[in-house]
Amino acid sequence: MEISFDHTTLGQRVLFGAGAAATNIAVALRDLGASRPLLVGGGHAAEVVDHVSEEFTVAGRVREVVQHVPAERAREAVALAQDVGADSVVAIGGGSATGLAKIVARDTSLPVVAVPTTFSGSEATDIWGMTEDERKTTGTDLRVLPRVVVYDATLTLGLPTDLAVHSGLNALAHAVDSLWAPRADPINRAMAGEGMRALVPGLRGLRADSADVRAHEEVLYGTYLAGVALASAGAGMHHKICHVLGGTFNLPHAPTHAVVLSYVAAYNAEADPDSEARIAEALGTPHAASGLWDLVREVGAPASLGEIGFTEDDVDLAAELATAAIPDSNPRPVSQDGVATLLRSALRGGGVRR
Ligand code: NAD
């Protein structure tokens, strides 16, 4: 088969090691020539913050981080970084802390060191998001891509198990959905495959024992690969549907992803046997969609969209909005009727056939 593609790998340093966050943040800052970081977040990593504060002059601190990056808070953080003469940003936290740091980087060009404490994967992307007047705007900008990511599996140990599992399932959705995204290519598909192979056992391990550092490491490693795959390939049908369900119908982000994923995999299975095989192989199951459904149920997530607030009355509008947003790259042609049928199945729950 002929191989032909156009792939860009984003440049980023990754320092990975359990218990090594403080050391690795210091390495990262010194190698960037930085000495006056603005510290964003850190509420779930007090010891690491103490170490950074001992070794560097923390120029300013944004302790409270609000979800979805409200524009007002973002402007305050940008002004603070400028007023205190920060030469870098260290973000310690989940996607919300990384998201705020990204806006500071977008508006000041300061380098970001991201230290994730969830499995959001935002640290691997050049995508920023900000909310103003209840509307979320997103964009891509290379300045927001963290220059260094510091992964330390002891930092995610504090996550309540349900939050950890839901966050890890989101990472799995990044990997799966990248397979049929607009810029999918052999390189980002390889990363997605390896990401899934790490995330599946890691998620099972987390559910079995949330204090298992090895399981946290596997999920973090898979999260990074899945984030890189998504940043490179773009978002596909799954993310477009979930975006509509969250944005227009206010469904909770993580459980929505968990419910919808197996239905999208079932929708695309026959039209894209290669992706179906990759997902099934990572799951160790004969079929992708039913394997995803079983995994999601096994590690603990809602069984239907009905359980999390979606109703029959919402189906037609949701299908119309999602159909308009789903990229042409989707392997199976997308029709409003097809998406409505998918949503009705997910509304009822009960699983997918294969
Ligand atoms: P979050 O950062 O808001 O964290 C979720 C909750 O977990 C918060 O209450 C937080 O305080 C808590 N928390 C974080 N770390 C913890 C820890 N170690 N122990 C205990 N509690 C902890 O949300 P998130 O789920 O990490 O990320 C979601 C956000 O990231 C969304 O706004 C989403 O849009 C964004 N996101 C962006 C991208 C991108 O590429 N730009 C990618 C994925 C997600």
CA proximity to 20, closest of 160, 162, 220, 161? 220
Joined together, the tokens standing for residue 65 give 């981080």
Nearest CA to ligand 1 atom 39: 122
Evaluate: CB of 93 within 6 angstroms of ligand 1.
yes
Q: Read out DSSP for 12-81?
A: -EEEE-TT-HHHHHHHHHHHHT---EEEEE-TT-HHHHHHHHHHS---EEE----TT-BHHHHHHHHHHH
**In Å, how far are 76, 91, 93, 317 from 24, measured between CA atoms?**
28, 13, 16, 48
Nearest CA to ligand 1 atom 14: 94
Q: For the chain, how big is the Rg over CA atoms in Å?
A: 20
Q: Tell me what percent of the residues of the chain surpass a pLDDT of 90.
A: 91
Cα dihedral across residues 136, 328, 197, 347: positive or negative:
positive
**Ligand 1 atom at shortest distance from the alpha carbon of 69:** 32
**Ligand 1 atom at shortest distance from the alpha carbon of 68:** 32
Q: Tell me what percent of the residues of the chain surpass a pLDDT of 70.
A: 100
Evaluate: CB of 255 within 6 angstroms of ligand 1.
no
Cβ-contact 118, 94 below 8 angstroms: yes
Q: Residue-wise over 24-53: b if at least 16 C-beta within 10 A, else e?
A: bbbbbbeebebebbbbbbbebbeebbebbe
CA of 235 to the centre of ligand 1 (A): 19
Q: Residue-wise over 77-114: b if at least 16 C-beta within 10 A, else e?
A: bbebbeeeebbbbbbbbbbbbbbbbbbbbbbbebbbbb
Number of helical H runs and strand E runs in the chain: 13, 8
Evaluate: CB of 68 within 6 angstroms of ligand 1.
yes
Evaluate: CB of 114 within 6 angstroms of ligand 1.
no
Joined together, the tokens standing for residue 247 give 């944005």
CA of 94 to the centre of ligand 1 (A): 4
**Ligand 1 atom at shortest distance from the alpha carbon of 129:** 41
Residue 354 in this model has a pLDDT that exceeds 70? yes
pLDDT of residue 197: 98
**Fold agreement between 13-155 and 161-348:** no
Residues with Cβ within 8 Å of residue 275, at least 6 apart in sequence: 179, 180, 189, 268, 288, 331
Kindly report, residue by residue over 298-339, the tens digit of the pLDDT: 998 899 999 999 999 999 999 999 999 999 999 999 999 999
CA of 6 to the centre of ligand 1 (A): 32
How many alpha carbons fall within 13 Å on the CB side of residue 247? 17
Mean pLDDT score across all residues of the chain: 96
Nearest CA to ligand 1 atom 7: 94
Higher pLDDT, 151 or 255: 151
Evaluate: CB of 94 within 6 angstroms of ligand 1.
yes
Furthest-apart CA atoms within the chain: distance in Å: 60
Q: What is the mean pLDDT of residues 98-120?
A: 98
Residue 68 in this model has a pLDDT that exceeds 90? no
Kindly report, residue by residue over 202-250, the tens digit of the pLDDT: 999 999 999 999 999 999 999 999 999 999 999 999 999 999 998 889 8
pTM > 0.75: yes or no: yes
Q: How confident is the model at residue 134 (pLDDT cuts 50, 70, 90)?
A: confident
Residue 254 in this model has a pLDDT that exceeds 90? no
Residue 281 in this model has a pLDDT that exceeds 70? yes
| Domain layout of the chain by residue ranges | 13-155, 161-348
Cβ-contact 112, 147 below 8 angstroms: yes
What fold, for 13-155?
A: Rossmann fold (3.40.50)
Residue 100 in this model has a pLDDT that exceeds 90? yes
**Ligand 1 atom at shortest distance from the alpha carbon of 138:** 41
Evaluate: CB of 118 within 6 angstroms of ligand 1.
yes
What fold, for 161-348?
A: Dehydroquinate synthase-like, alpha domain (1.20.1090)
Q: What is the mean pLDDT of residues 251-276?
A: 95
Nearest CA to ligand 1 atom 10: 94
pLDDT of residue 353: 78
Which among 126, 140, 163 is the best mutation to test ligand 1's pocket, defined by most ligand atoms within 8 Å of the CB? 163
Kind and range of the H or E run holding 129: strand 127-132
**Ligand 1 atom at shortest distance from the alpha carbon of 231:** 40
Which among 49, 100, 120 is the best mutation to test ligand 1's pocket, defined by most ligand atoms within 8 Å of the CB? 120
**In Å, how far are 304, 314, 327 from 345, measured between CA atoms?**
8, 13, 22
pLDDT of residue 1: 67
